[in-house]
Structure 1
Amino acid sequence: MPVLEGDFITINYTGSIAGTIFDTTDEEVAKDAGIHNPEALYGPVTVRVGNHHVILGLDEALEGKEVGYEGEIDVGPDMAFGPRDPQKVEAFNKNAFKEKPRLGMNLKVDEKGEGTVVDIIGNRVLVDFNHPFAGKELHYWFRIENEVTATEEKVNGLIRLYAGRDMETSFSDGVLTITLPPGINYDRRWVLWRSRVIGESLEHIPEIQEITLVETFRRRDAVE
């Protein structure tokens, strides 16, 4: 059966710009391309078609394909990271930054977000707030691996997608239980995306009526 909007599926993909790989689910490809992240989880990713869990151009390419389909697409800026906007390149006084700016340095500016230093002229620093891939055409190879139907697997996929880690989950009588690992409150990525995981699980997995987060604390002398 063809993949439809709203289906949960697992996919593998590799994205490149002018032949240079910038993202992949394949760990060996990442190593060969020099972009390997030892803290990342590699392997197929779970996405809900139509939810823009991947860039728009790739998301739309998934619909209507069969499980096992393998193909390649070119994605223009309008379906990727948007056109490059010259007005998003702004000048700042060098003294406005706590750390001495350097070419290529990523900076976070209040109310502007993150940008990249693209030029330094005297005391003037030019910062580009466009996405690094804005205005560029992307190329993707992708393969649809499986359809995801089990409740726990859907949630596990969302946790991996947003939090970049695995957690233990169980589902019974409409209640999904997520067992949180020790120290999770110090994981900034989980703290940032927890509400998205919970919200999308409740919105898009109708059999889930309630979500319980379980966090266990033990006395120090009980574990020594």
Structure 2
Amino acid sequence: MNEHRVSPYGDTTQATRKRTVWVVIITGLLAAAGLAWSLRIPAGDPWFTPATFILAGVYILGSSIAVRMTGERLPWKVTPKGLRDAVIGGVLLAALFIAGGFMVRFVPFLAGPVHELLNHARVGSLFMVALTTAVNGVAEETYYRGALWRVLPRGRRILVTTIAYTAVTSLAGIPLLALAAAALGAFVGYLRERTRSLVPGIVTHLIWSLTMLFVLPFVV
């Protein structure tokens, strides 16, 4: 599907366009509430895993409805160069924030919230936490660089999706995570714009998030 049209909606009616925007907005609000709820569940609580899967479901379902309303499809086709850039970017971002995590360990008010988040992996099932991390990474990219991306003016897509992603992530109350969301959001937005595909952003997101999950506990 050609993304160089003036309208991001294709040949749809104005009423359909408005409904699509509302679906995207409601999805974002529900996801924000879901994230705030899931990250406030104590480590070891059996509700944590279902809550994170519900969050992913909100993102994916809302995005799917919004995209189908326009009669379009999300762009999955990707080139080898796009994948290469995604892998390099993911590794560099992960390395940057591992270094940041090492410095944060000496600042108690910053390290404390990170430890609370990582306790879900320490106390609960590491496999399930990794699975929900991966699923939510895909779901977030489907929404922010998929459904939300489509309803924004072309020149503001990277900025607005990065701000939205950072704002929602900030609900976790973890400064380091909010900073990471801003950097990650800007880079995957750049990949989305340059490659015209969701796949590179998903690859970068997964490399970054899973590296943080498995490596950060040994650093912070």
Same fold (TM over 0.5): no
More helix by share: 2
* Bigger relative contact order, structure 1 or 2 (CA pairs below 8 A, ≥6 apart): 2
What TM-score, normalized to structure 1? 0.28
More strand by share: 1
Which has the greater radius of gyration? 1
What TM-score, normalized to structure 2? 0.28
